[in-house]
Structure 1
Amino acid sequence: MTKPATPFTPTVDADGTPTVCRCCGRHAIGIGRGTKADPGFLCRKCITIVEDLSKMDRLDVYELAALDAGVDAVGAYLSEIGKTDLAECDELDARMIVKAAWLGCAEGLRRALNEAPF
């Protein structure tokens, strides 16, 4: 079994209802590209580019840089609030951790693309 191209799996709940987009993590609808175990549901925006999504097998160098920046952002946030055990986090902390990861990934991707040779 190959590793998913993105971390947004599974895209379906126990009842078979679409949950998150396999590509971007937004709210998915009932169209996807995947297997019987995980249909790889997509959101409305990603459905419009599904032909290109079928070519995605691995994260590229820019996406990996974005992922690393997201990890760094979460680490910085946890240091800022003085917590290392995620079980100690309340709902607001949990949301802020996700926000830090999301914004960190976005900023990391922008930085990586600014350094790209094109």
Structure 2
Amino acid sequence: MSCAICGRAGRGFGFTARREGAARQAACSMRCLDILNARGGAVYDLNHFEKQAIEAASEKAGTYLEEIGKTDLATLTREEWRQLLSTVFVAATAQIQRLTDEDAVPF
């Protein structure tokens, strides 16, 4: 079951609203569970690892767009859009892995 807030895989955290027929929802973390509990609470601020990961991903996204010769995102084909998203995702997660060690997971 996917996290009802961010879409990551649910990790044992669950939530069921106290109303008739409410479906059980999963969360990936206490952070997402708190948001579920607050029923759409505020979006959390990025931590310093995530901010640095976004910077690294931005560079990779720019490089990819230069390689295909496009700057207007509206002109991307479906495959180009998927490749751009994949590039950003892989770059961001790789940067978080580089910035953390086995004992300091940022999320």
TM-score for both structures, normalised by structure 2: 0.58
CA distance in 2, matches of 1:20, 1:61: 23
Q: Return the alpha-carbon distance in structure 1 between the equivalents of residues 95 and 58 of structure 2.
A: 10
Higher strand share: 2
CA distance in 2 between counterparts of 1:21 and 1:45 reads: 6
Matches within 5 A, 1:31-110: 31=15, 44=26, 46=28, 49-50=29-30, 52-53=31-32, 54=34, 57-110=44-97
Counting aligned pairs with the same residue, the percent is 27
TM-score (norm 1): 0.54
Q: Which amino acid aligns with 1:106?
A: T
Moved over 4 A (4+): none
Whether contact under 8 Å (1:68, 1:108) holds in the other structure is: no
8 Å contact from structure 2 (residues 53, 92) kept in 1: yes
For residues 85 and 101 of structure 1, do their structure 2 counterparts lie closer, same or farther at Cα, with a shift above 3 Å needed?
Answer: same
Unaligned runs of 5+ in 2: 17-24, 36-42
- The structure having more radius of gyration, on CA atoms, is 2
Question: In the alignment, what sits opposite 1:13?
Answer: none
Q: List runs of 5+ in structure 1 lacking aligned partners.
A: 1-18, 33-42
Q: Are 2:56 and 2:95, in contact at CA under 8 Å, matched by a contact in 1?
A: yes
